[in-house]
Structure 1
């Protein structure tokens, strides 16, 4: 079952089973991971929308600089347009984060007998499978998030439900999973790199941390930003192709409806550089996003005495 330690004298009964403790811990993880994800996404939503616009449209709609792009968004829909699509992102991030972290712990136990003292390739495999599991479960929300980021003012008046219904009417269930294959190809290495690199860096940085102290925000920023940056640079071309495929149910040119055809078109138009369009905005978003997300996650875990997949620091 497991309960949050609020500082009162009530303790978890000694006769609770390991299964009950893990079950309660999953709920605790949903709380800490969901809050961390929601805060980080909300604070960096304008940069996330800028990244999506760059990936899909390049510079044709939003200008050649970030300042011009933000000015274009403000003129098109006002200050609220900077957070367009963020509601969907916040709704999806809580279960996505909880599923990813919970299954990261699950796969380490299932495949390797426990969460501690694993080699980096074992962490990579567990992280890849955890990322694939979470993405499969919430993928229609990814499609809706992309559509909501790209919509114009007044489009999808029903919000998230209206957006999902519109996508379904256009292409059925397949439309809700458009770009899933390329997304899975990207999330397998990205989640593996991110989780393995974060846990490895975190373990090294916190090796001398006293058990009663919470990790510093600076240390969390360093380990989280390093892990995410490596994953993003390595996997960004796949993320760009996924976003392009999510943006439409069908392209007018048939060759753009396949990953190979879309990749060939991007390469012919812009070369290798085209596969990294929008990565600058994404990397700029990574630092504050990772700082807020990992710092919030770790501090909540420390405050409430919650164990999590990366080991205890409290």
Structure 2
């Protein structure tokens, strides 16, 4: 009678969050953010100028979107339409790169390493919110600089570029200056969370309908459509925070914090004040998101497939 020796099974390795980090998402997200920003930055300049026009302070006023474009071009030239483009490229590249990196790492951690494990809306909101908060604290100084450079008009030429702006903010306002608008920015994390939740749910339902794994690569048309729908839903539900954030970051205005800004906006402008520039914003962010997500999805799938075969 032969004796059987049971070999002890090695303990299962517990995966940590760091084990789910894939830098392909960072590269793809950064590339996508930079690409869409370079193409559509003039829309961002117009949106910011509409947002900070509160009817109280002396700022340029435009009768509409096309009037704003023509006026800026006539008064400031082509360069005026690209004010703040350097920090915008830095900010968009860093934000999208980090956001996609953190989001996919957290999501994959929740999935236990199986990218085809479906997650519900709640988990998508959780992963997007956590990645949004981390990204916000890293990149907020860049957005403050971008806002101030975009708003330099006429005699308000206070900064000579990105580095000069960073330096002067630190000298006159300290570290606190880099984090103006951070409170509405924290509330604004909900924007990315809503967008990613809607985007992921639409993708998953589409894959279920065609009986495909949820990680399968889709076509360009699907990515364009799903990203557009998710962005429109997110903008409509969360836009007011962007107006408050831009006004707090504007060096020409003086508010005693986010609550004071909300009160004064409501008092002088009503609910419409919280949606100033939304039309321009939708015209900009919808195609920007479509470009960003199509670029990201294609590059990330390509890089992941390449690294898997190496």
In 2, the alpha carbon distance for the partners of 1:209 and 1:160 equals 49
- Matched residue SS, 1:178: coil
CA deviations over 1:1-33 (Å, ceiling 9, x no partner):
xxxxxxxxxxxxxxxx9999755x22x222211
In 2, the alpha carbon distance for the partners of 1:235 and 1:296 equals 25
Q: CA deviation at 1:139?
A: 0.9
- Matched residue SS, 2:221: helix
Counterpart position of 2:120: 119
1:277 aligns to 2:285 (yes or no): no
What count of residue pairs does the alignment treat as equivalent? Answer: 285
Aligned partners of 1:88 and 1:141 also within 8 Å: yes
1:99 aligns to 2:92 (yes or no): no
Counterpart position of 2:258: 259
Cα 1:124–1:22 shift into 2, 3 Å: closer
Please, which runs of 5 or more residues in structure 1 have no aligned partner? 1-16, 308-314
Counterpart position of 1:133: 134
Structure with max Cα Rg: 2
Aligned partners of 2:48 and 2:150 also within 8 Å: yes
CA deviations over 1:88-122 (Å, ceiling 9, x no partner):
11112222112211211233355564553111111
Counterpart position of 1:169: 171
Please say which of residues 195-204 and 42-51 is displaced more in the overlay: 195-204
Q: CA deviation at 1:170?
A: 2.1
- Matched residue SS, 1:84: coil
The alignment's TM-score, normalised by the length of structure 1, stands at 0.82
Cα 1:133–1:18 shift into 2, 3 Å: closer
Aligned partners of 1:62 and 1:73 also within 8 Å: no
Aligned partners of 2:33 and 2:97 also within 8 Å: no
- Matched residue SS, 1:76: helix
CA deviations over 1:31-60 (Å, ceiling 9, x no partner):
211111111111111111111000012585
Aligned partners of 2:29 and 2:97 also within 8 Å: yes
Q: CA deviation at 1:261?
A: 1.3
The alignment's TM-score, normalised by the length of structure 2, stands at 0.83
Counterpart position of 2:227: 224
- Matched residue SS, 1:215: coil
CA deviations over 1:119-174 (Å, ceiling 9, x no partner):
11111111111111111111100101111111237935541111111211221111
Q: CA deviation at 1:298?
A: 1.2
Please, which runs of 5 or more residues in structure 2 have no aligned partner? 1-14
Aligned partners of 1:143 and 1:176 also within 8 Å: yes
Q: CA deviation at 1:271?
A: 0.7
Which residue, 36, 41, 45 being the options, matches 1:45?
Answer: 41
Counterpart position of 1:14: none
Aligned partners of 2:25 and 2:104 also within 8 Å: no
Aligned partners of 1:217 and 1:291 also within 8 Å: no
Counterpart position of 1:13: none
Counterpart position of 2:296: 297
Counterpart position of 2:3: none
Aligned partners of 2:20 and 2:109 also within 8 Å: no
In 1, the alpha carbon distance for the partners of 2:62 and 2:70 equals 9
